[in-house]
Every structure is written in C-alpha cells, then in structure tokens.
Structure 1
Amino acid sequence: MKIVFFGTPEISVPILEILNEKYKLSLVVTQQDRKKGRGKKLLPPPVKEKALELGIEVFQPENINSQEAIEILKGQEADLFVVIAFGQILKEEVLNIPKLYAINIHASCLPKLRGAAPINRAIIQGHATSGVSIMKMERGLDTGDVALCEEIDISNLNAEELSEKISELGSKLIVEFIENLKAGKVRFDKQDSDLATYADKIDKFTGYIDFETMDTKTICNLVRGLYKKPAASTTYKGERFKILKAEPVDTDVKAGLGEIIEVNKSLVVKTLDGALSILEVQFPGKRIMTIEEHLAGNEFVKGELLGG
C-alpha cells in the first residue's frame, strides 16, 4: 500500500508516525516554512520536522493544485492520499490522482461540524461529544462518504486536550480503515446533508468576550475552545489580554457586567447570570501566568470593568 500523507500542524504528527511505522510513507506533503514569533524566524511546520527526522521525503508546494505539484504527485503512483489538517484545498484533479482514494481524517462525526474549525467550534458551542470521521474526499466541503466514525466525550476539555484525543483516535481509525481496505471490507455511507452543521473558521475576533451579551457558560466554553491560540480575550484599562483558564462562580453580588468583584487567588468578574473566576491570563509580551503570579507584580482593582 503506497501512501502519500498530507498534514501540517502538531495534530497531524502522531498520524504521520503510525502510518510510516506500519506502511512506510512514500512522501509527506506539508505547508511551506513560515515566519513566526517575535523575531519572525523562519520555522518549519511540525510535520516537516517529524518527516525529516524519520527520513521521509518532504514536498512543500506553494500551491498544491499547480501543474508542477500535480506532476510530482502523479509521479508517486500512490494508492492512497491521507489528509489531516493540511491547510490547502485539494481540487478535483488532485483528488483523482491516487489509484484508490483520497481520504480525509476529519475532527467531528460528520455531517456535524463540516469545515475549518471543528475542534474549536465543538467546545465553543457546548457540545458534549465530538469525534473523528474517515471520509472519502470530493469537491464539496467535507461532504464525502464516510467509512468510519467514532465519538468521544469532550466534557471539560480545552482545544489543546481535544486535539490530542482527536489525533490519538484518528491514528487508530486510519489504520483500521487501511486494514479493512486491504481485506476488501471497506464500506462508505453517504452523509445526510439535512443534518449538516458548519464549523466556521476561527479569526482574531472570535475570542473577544462581551460581558453584556455572554453568560458564564458561554464565556467558559469560549476560553476552553480557543486555548491557547488565538485565545479568548478582554481588556483591562484599555489593554487587551488573554484568558487561558476560567470557571463559573455562583454569586448574588450586585455589580455591573464585567465588573471586578473580587481580587484574591482568582479574579472574579460579574456576568449576566453569576460570575466568572479567571484563573490564568497572558498579557502582551508575557508568558501565561496564574492570577496569583500576575498579581505578584501587577494589579487588578476591585470595581473596575473588564471589556469596558
């Protein structure tokens, strides 16, 4: 079974490793190196680093649908393309290159949460479960037939923790799919598009907390769903900062929405239906800190407003 693997971020790495261990990948396709961090240093994506460590050939096309990229992919004479979080849309000509299928490992139980950000949106929307689908790729947005799907409980997980679980489950299911394929036991089922929901792309505005309109649960879900990047955020005295961990607090204190009502081992802020205890923050240019660590050299003033 000759496999070309497509992936870019950290979530793709464990799947790359298991596929190479069992089937010896012929090529890894990933995004180009990007400038990151305050020094804007050119850094390779995690998948490239791991592929080179394992001695696998790496291809980093600027445009996966260019004629040059298509000819390189055709030259692999692959049976399967396996894709997870690659970062470019594969057009139909590319999807038709492998002898058997182009397969996507999608981080939801389709047709729920089709689209760019199923991990984040599952948490932000307060879902009790998420999952992984092994899907045949086609022209539509995550509309292809599904061979395997398995759910997982996501209660109280943040986006980083859920990504790890998705990667672990995806590794298991893609091996199961390939073994089924080799044994002639694969069956694809059509999705019910009437049940489809969509996971819109996350941008820098997604995480802005509005204490005037969001209840405590909504804010906590936003904090968990956007951990650590781009992270939920608000402002204090005009300076925007990130909130990395928070939990609900029951209170009957009368205060304005977003008002700081307690400053101690946590920062307690009034919300629509109670209060929010902010436990971890990150200010610009600083590392992630607990509130206790932050208060050792900075202050929050009781009675001031967040997000005002």
Structure 2
Amino acid sequence: MKFIFMGTPEFAVPMLEKLNTLGDVDLVVSQEDKRKGRGKKLKETPVKIKAKELALEVFQPENVNSKESVEKLKSHEPDIIVVVAYGQLLTEEILQIPKRYIINIHASLLPKLRGAAPINRSIIEGFDKTGVSLMKVEKGLDTGAVSHVKEIEIDGMNAGELEDKLAILGSNLLEEFIKEAEVKEIEFIPQDDSQMTYAEKINKETLNLDFNKNSKEVVNLIRGLSPKYGARFYYKDMLYKIYDACAIENKDDVEAGTILKAKDELVIKTLDGAISVKEVQAPGKRAMAISDFLRGNSFEEGYKLGGK
C-alpha cells in the first residue's frame, strides 16, 4: 500500500519508522521548521530529520489546507494517510483524499483526554493508566471512531518516560492496523462522548507549583511536566524549577510552602505532608541532583515559598 505520513514531534518518529517497513511511504508532511534557542537557529522537526535519514520526500506547508497543498497530497494518491501529532486541523477535502483510510494515533484511552497534552495531563491528573488509541480522522478534535487501543500502567513515570513508552506502543498499534487492513476492512467503533474529557494545552499557569495542594498532587505536577518544562516556584524573587521529587510524611504545624530542610536535602511542606526534591534547576543553570545543587547553593530553612 501507498502511505502519506503526517507528523511533527519526536513522539511521531517511531511510527514513521514503523510505517516505512510496512509499505511505500510516498510523502512525509511535517510542520515548518522553527527558530529555537538563544541563537534563534532554524531547527528541523524531528519527523523531518528522520524522513531525510530514510530518504523520503518531505513537504512542509505553512497551511496544509491551502489549494496548492491539497493538490500536492492528491497527486500522491495514497491508500492510507497516517496522522500523528501533526499540529494542524484537516479540512474535509483532505479527509476524502485517501482511497481507504485517514487515521490518527492519539496518546490516550479515548474518549478520555482528547486534545493537545494527553501525556502530561494523564500524569498531572493522577491517572493509574493511559495508552494509545487509533481512530479515524474527522472534523472534530479527536472525536473519530476507534479501531485499536493499547493500555499501559503509568507506574511513577514522568512525561518524557511515558512518551517514549507510548511511542513504541503506538508503533505496534499501527503495525497491527496496517497488517489487518491488508486483508480485510477495519471495524471502527464510535466513541462514547458522554465519557469525554479534555487534555488542555500546557500553559504558563500550569507550570506553577501550589504547595497548598496535597503531596501526591504536587508530585504529579512535577512528574507531568518533566523533563520538558519543569514545575516552577519562586525563592526570594528568583525562579527555580523542580524536575523530580517524592512525597514524604510530615506533620509539622507550619504553612504549606515552608522550607523544612535545606542542608543535605530539600524538603518543602505541602497541605498534607511534604515533598523531598530530587532534581532542581536554578536560574540560568542546568538541572542538578539536589545533593550536587546544595553543595554550591543554599535555601533558608523556615522560608515560606510563594508566587511572584
């Protein structure tokens, strides 16, 4: 079969690699390259980098739904279009292009966590398990009927670790789908919209730690934002980020956000206990294990952390 693959971030790369072993990837569509970092250098998307390694044609339209882009996609006459975290909504005209299916692999157990940040939100919201769902693409946001699902226990992973696991799971799911599609028509089951939840995009407000929550919620936020973002707090008007922490018991009668220990370890009071910080980043510095950090930096015990 002939495929078009549409994807952009690192999460989509294993699925492009897998698809390339299952048939003819005739075209790879990715978002435009962006300028990033202090030098604002133009950085290619992870999917584009992998497509070039595989000697596949890459197409990066500003607007994939433009007349010129649609004609480009049509000219390849794909049997199946596979979409993985591409980043643009598709019009009905594109949905009608493939001879058989246009499918999407989404990193949640649909209809739970539709939307932009399902991996982060599954951890932040305290889910025990998540997974990947393979669905038909339609006009709505992650609303299409589902054919294949795989589950995974979250089991203490941070967002980066979980993303890696889900990318491999998604690759296996895609392989199952393609092999079945080679021999039969695929059955898709409509989602139960009454069970739908939405995974809101990670924004600046999401990054701020609130120590007036219980320890589990605080640790979930830290894990759900690591390693890409870091959960933020201010100490004496300076912004710090935490990338790893664990919940510990503590019954001290002090306000949430109070630094309880800062010599050999960093312990911060929460609503129902405390957290022990394992990895932290100071302004303008790299993230460090807390033991290394405290050798050259210090916090004041008894200091109450707050917002800025």
**What's the TM-score once normalised by structure 2's chain length?**
0.97
2:269 is paired with a residue whose SS is: strand
Write out aligned runs for 1:279-298 (5 A).
279-298=278-297
- Residues 204 and 230, structure 1, Cα contact 8 Å, conserved in 2: no
Shift of 1:22: 2.3
Match in the other structure for 2:107: 107
Write out aligned runs for 1:104-143 (5 A).
104-143=104-143
Shift of 1:21: 2.0
Separation in 1 of the partners of 2:100 and 2:306? 53
* Alignment deviations for residues 37-73 of structure 1 (CA, whole Å, 9 cap, x no partner): 1211111011111110110010011111111111110
Shift of 1:185: 4.7
Match in the other structure for 2:252: 253
Separation in 1 of the partners of 2:32 and 2:265? 41
One-letter code aligned to 1:279: K
Write out aligned runs for 1:173-192 (5 A).
173-192=173-192
Overall identity of the aligned pairs, in % = 52
Write out aligned runs for 1:143-158 (5 A).
143-158=143-158
2:284 is paired with a residue whose SS is: coil
Match in the other structure for 2:264: 265
Shift of 1:18: 1.1
Separation in 2 of the partners of 1:231 and 1:67? 41
- Residues 130 and 151, structure 1, Cα contact 8 Å, conserved in 2: yes
2:67 aligned with 1:41, yes or no?
no
1:26 is paired with a residue whose SS is: strand
One-letter code aligned to 1:22: L
Separation in 2 of the partners of 1:69 and 1:160? 33
Shift of 1:283: 2.2
Write out aligned runs for 1:211-226 (5 A).
211-212=211-212, 214-226=213-225
2:49 aligned with 1:22, yes or no?
no
Q: Runs ≥4 in structure 1, deviation > 4 angstroms?
A: none
Match in the other structure for 1:54: 54
- Residues 209 and 307, structure 1, Cα contact 8 Å, conserved in 2: no
2:134 is paired with a residue whose SS is: strand
Match in the other structure for 2:161: 161
One-letter code aligned to 1:108: S
Match in the other structure for 1:237: 236
2:203 aligned with 1:227, yes or no?
no
Separation in 2 of the partners of 1:58 and 1:235? 43
Structure 1, unpaired ranges of 5+: none
Shift of 1:285: 2.2
**CA RMSD for the aligned pairs?**
1.1
Shift of 1:84: 0.7
Structure 2, unpaired ranges of 5+: none
1:22 is paired with a residue whose SS is: coil
Separation in 1 of the partners of 2:259 and 2:144? 49
- Residues 266 and 277, structure 1, Cα contact 8 Å, conserved in 2: yes
